[in-house]
Amino acid sequence: MRHISRTILFAFVVFLLSATALTLNASMLDRHLAKDDENTLLYADEIIHEKETGTITARGHVEIEREGRVLRADVVTYNDKTDIMTASGHVRLDEPSGEIIYVDYAELTGDLKTGFVNRVRMTLSDNARFVANRGERENAHTSHFDHAVYSPCNLCKVNPQNPPFWQVKAKHVVFDEKAQDIYYTDALIEMFGIPTFYTPYLRHPAPNVKRRSGLLSLTMNQSTALGWFGIMEYFWVISQDKDITLTPMIRGNGNGVLAVQYRQRLEKGQFSFDGSIDPGAKVVDNKGNTLKESHRVRWHVAPEAKYNFTEHIRGGFRIERVSDQTYLRRYSHLGLSGRTFLTSNVYGEGFWGRSYASVQNYAFQGLREGDKNATTPFLLPWITVNYLGKPDSWGGRWSIDGDGLVLTRQEGTRYGRLSATSGWQKPYVSTWGDMYTIGAKLRTDLYEVHNYNPPNNLTKYNANIFRVFPQAYATWNYPFFRQWRSYRVVLEPVMGIVGAPNLSQPTKLPNEDSLFIEFNDTDVMSESRFAGLDQIDGGSRFNYGVNLAGFSGETGNTGLFVGQSLAFQDPGQYLAKTGLDKRLSDVVARLKYNYKGWLQFKTRFLLDRTTFHFHRNETNASIGKPILRFSTDYIHLPVLKKNPDDDSRKQIRLTLSSDFLDNWSASITTTRNMGKRSQTLSQGISLTYHNECFTFTNTLTKKFYADRDLQPGLIYMFRISFKNLGEFSQSFGVLNEPGSNVQAF
């Protein structure tokens, strides 16, 4: 075996031919295998030149490479006069795009770009298979095949002669390598070798195509609210950096909705636009009453942009607005049906080492019944600054956190806020291995309040408020490790103390950003347990807890944390029903357990300190293997202070699933509210078949709740997907959320 570049090839051939009393000049060899100044590589056991006929024959493990193409064969013959190369015996051609072609006989031009082949067997870049009786390469980019068969499905391992799961048979196929398209004429789709569907014309992209204009999906639905309607997605590639997705929804009565998504890549960022418009249709609630939105133009827009101005500064915006509250839930295929409010934001931010600064402007739009735009706040602007210094001679770091906010609304309270927090913190590890953290903070706030009406007070205030809040804290933890046989146990007690004045909330100061206080396992040891700044987390307290973890290949892995807080002063009224309303707080905990993937359990909860009743609980558990698995999700949220009679904040979801056969899976699901107002929210069942080239899904869902124009109902949907060809889905029934099961794949 010899390896020859263009220059070395010449010397090698001269050597071989001199031994047989033949001659070959360098100019002829250049014309044979090195035209257009391209390098040609040749491997062969034997090369024979017949000067009279102008042919060169290479025998034995022949391999020729040119312009990324590699031809392998037992025998290759090249005719200099006709510039024709023939190959026979285990012929294989590797294309630069990843295709591998096997043929019985090939006749190609010297540059391997045109010619014809017999009995083609092709493996595409995604391992799909293509077979044809005859193939002809028209030019460097187009190939024609007669009586061809295509399939991306794997062959049976036991009997490869059996037909694949599905395949396309066609009288004629054109493979346009430049456009990366495959065209079929007189095509027949077979399932299990049985003719199933005929089409006179079929086209799909080549497997290595990432973006291509064309139809994405077509879905047919029926609901009592909208009647029959179809949704089609069309993807249009405008250029390498731009594309548009058009999604028209056509109803049986002629009305419809047009959705548009535009995307563009910028040199240092990106821009996108999502929007839709409904020219007007009749809208009724669940009682049949005509709503005010009937026969009005309805719409939504959601443009978004991000741009990197410099290495350290970037900015952007996202605007979300809708014509009315129920539009997005009515047409949930728009992708925003689960939102209870929309957020618009224009921002700029900078990063310098460990420091950060941002300027943001927020506007909101409530979508729940009773939400009013006049009382919805605007943040114009909200400025934050975070600075973290380098370690000083003591090993500690200084930090500064700044916050500036202007909150306004059309009706109700407005205020401006300036807040600055300076702090110092030092970690320390002793020679015994226990770890300490000490620190101190000083926070100053300045408020300008307008039109504030405190609860249970008829007077509206305008006030300027200044407050100072100092705080000092220290934490300690000491992990203990014990190895016993195959068990490893880590026990880590944690303690901390926080010292601060027990400041009460000023009467004339509104609380806009700390309305909901959640006491949990993540913040029990923190010096500041509130998400916002309006409410001070004042008072001194002692925090303590313990981390326990066990690791074993025999019994599984376990993690447990339990914590509690002891306040030195009586808590304020604002902490009622948060778990912090007594000096000794409720108990927070989290527990995790995993046994070889067969049993998984995760829960976190807030436990009453005296009755041990749950005030809050979030649990996820599953048991079983893929052959049969049962899982549950349970959530119990505290009762809202504004609505103490509301006990419906408990919900559970139960799921039984099974991968009962190879490629087959099924599941049954039910979701239910718990408490005095318990009711079933939804139930569903699904059956799916999936392999490497085909997916078939059936779902049947029943929903029981109603909200304005959203009605209870039953829906069935099936989805069929052929790899590389496309998919079709259809649903029937009474939709609770019209179009909610429409999917774009």
Q: Which DSSP string corresponds to 118-129? A: EEEEEE-TTS-E
Q: Give Cα separations from 69 to 130, 248, 263 (angstroms).
A: 19, 44, 36
Structure confidence at residue 97 as a pLDDT band (50, 70, 90):
confident
Q: Which residue has the higher pLDDT, 233 or 15?
A: 233
pLDDT band at 727 (very low <50, low <70, confident <90, very high): low
C-alpha to C-alpha distance for 522 and 535, rounded to whole angstroms = 19
| Tokens matching residue 740 | 């909610």
pLDDT of amino acid 645: 47
Q: How many CA atoms lie within 13 A of 342 on its CB side?
A: 24
Return the higher-pLDDT residue of 690 and 708: 690
> pLDDT of 584-595, one tens digit each?
999 999 999 999
Tokens 């290595």 identify what position? 208
Q: pLDDT band at residue 43, thresholds of 50, 70 and 90?
A: confident
pLDDT recorded at residue 118: 84
Helix (H, G, I), strand (E, B) or coil at 162: coil
Look up residue 449 and give its two tokens. 């309040």
> Which residues are within 8 A (CB) of 131 and not within 5 positions of it... i.e. 6 or more apart?
120, 121, 122, 148, 149
Measure the CA–CA gap between 84 and 643, rounded to whole angstroms: 87
Q: Which of 497, 607, 613, 498 is nearest to 561 (CA)?
A: 607
- The closest of 338, 271, 273, 272 to 300, measured between CA atoms, is 273
Q: Which residue has the higher pLDDT, 23 or 384?
A: 384
d(CA 140, CA 95): 11
Average pLDDT on 512-525 reads 88
Q: Look at residue 425 in the predicted model and tell me its pLDDT.
A: 96
Q: Which residue has the higher pLDDT, 205 or 409?
A: 409
Contacts for 700 with CB less than 8 Å, ≥ 6 apart: 684, 685, 686, 714, 715, 716
Question: For residue 647, what are the contacts with CB-CB under 8 A and spacing of at least 6?
Answer: 639, 675, 676, 677
- How many beta carbons lie within 10 A of that of residue 606, not counting itself? 24
Lowest mean pLDDT among 8-17, 176-185, 421-430, 473-482: 8-17
38 C-beta neighbours (distance < 10 Å), count:
11
pLDDT above 50 (res 745): no
Please provide the DSSP assignment of 500-524 as one string: ---PPPPTT----S-S-----TTTT
Show me where the domains of the chain are located.
Answer: 6-205, 212-368
Q: Categorise residue 404: left if φ over 0, alpha if ψ from -120 to 50, beta otherwise.
A: beta
pLDDT at 10: 32
| Cα of 638 vs its chain's centroid, Å | 31
Contact 588, 521 (CB under 8 A): yes
> Judging by DSSP bridges, how do beta strands 194-205 and 614-625 pair with one another?
unpaired
Which residue did the predictor score with more confidence, 207 or 268? 268
| Residue 578: partners with Cβ closer than 8 Å, 6 or more residues away | 517, 518, 519, 638
pLDDT digits (tens, 9 = 90+) for 549-579: 999 888 899 999 999 999 999 888 888 888 8
Checking if the pLDDT of 39 tops 60, the result is yes
Write b or e for each residue in 142-163: b if 16 or more Cβ atoms lie within 10 A of its Cβ, otherwise e: ebbbeebbbbbbeeeeeeeeeb
The CA-atom distances, in angstroms, between 449 and each of 42, 283, 383, 412, 463 are 84, 42, 18, 11, 5
Strand ranges inside 6-54, DSSP E: 40-43, 46-50
**What phi and psi, each to the nearest 5 degrees, are found at residue 13?**
-65, -40
Strand spans (E) along 279-354: 298-308, 313-318, 321-322, 341-352
> Would you say 326 and 709 are in contact if contact means Cβ atoms under 8 Å apart?
yes
What gap in Å lies between CA 495 and CA 480, rounded to an integer? 15
* Cis previous bond, 279, omega within 30: no
- 6-205 carries CATH number 2.60.450.10: yes
Q: Which of 71-80, 158-167, 207-216, 379-388 has the highest mean pLDDT?
A: 379-388
CA distance linking residue 395 with residue 389, whole number of Å? 11
Question: How far is 561 from 745, CA to CA, in rounded Å?
Answer: 42
Are 579 and 586 spatial neighbours (Cβ–Cβ below 8 Å)?
yes
Distance of CA 612 to the CA centre of its chain: 39
Residue 11 to residues 15, 45, 264: CA-CA distances in angstroms?
6, 16, 54
Residue 728, pLDDT score: 53
DSSP state of 310: S
Separation of alpha carbons 720 and 636, rounded Å: 38
pTM of the complete model: 0.74
List pLDDT tens digits, range 614-654.
889 999 999 999 999 999 999 988 765 555 445 457 899 99
B/e letters for 383-394, b = 16+ CB within 10 Å, e = fewer, are: ebbebeeeeeee
Identify any residues that bridge with 545 across adjacent strands, giving them in sequence order: 494, 563
402: number of Cβ within 10 Å: 15
* Residues 700 and 716 sit within 8 Å (Cβ to Cβ): yes
Q: Kindly report the number of other CB atoms within 10 A of residue 82's CB atom.
A: 11
Tell me what pLDDT residue 584 has: 95
Helix (H, G, I), strand (E, B), or coil: what is residue 565? Answer: strand
For 505-526, what is the mean pLDDT?
88
pLDDT at residue 41, rounded to an integer: 82
d(CA 691, CA 165): 9
Tell me: pLDDT of 220 over 70: no
Count of residues in the chain:
745
How confident is the model at residue 738, as a pLDDT?
35
Average pLDDT over residues 490-517: 91
Please give the single-letter amino acid code of residue 155. L
Angle at 587 between CA 586 and CA 590, to 5 degrees: 145
- Residue 335 pLDDT > 70, yes or no? yes
- pLDDT tier at 149 (50, 70, 90 boundaries)? very high
What are residue 63's phi and psi, to 5 degrees? -145, 120
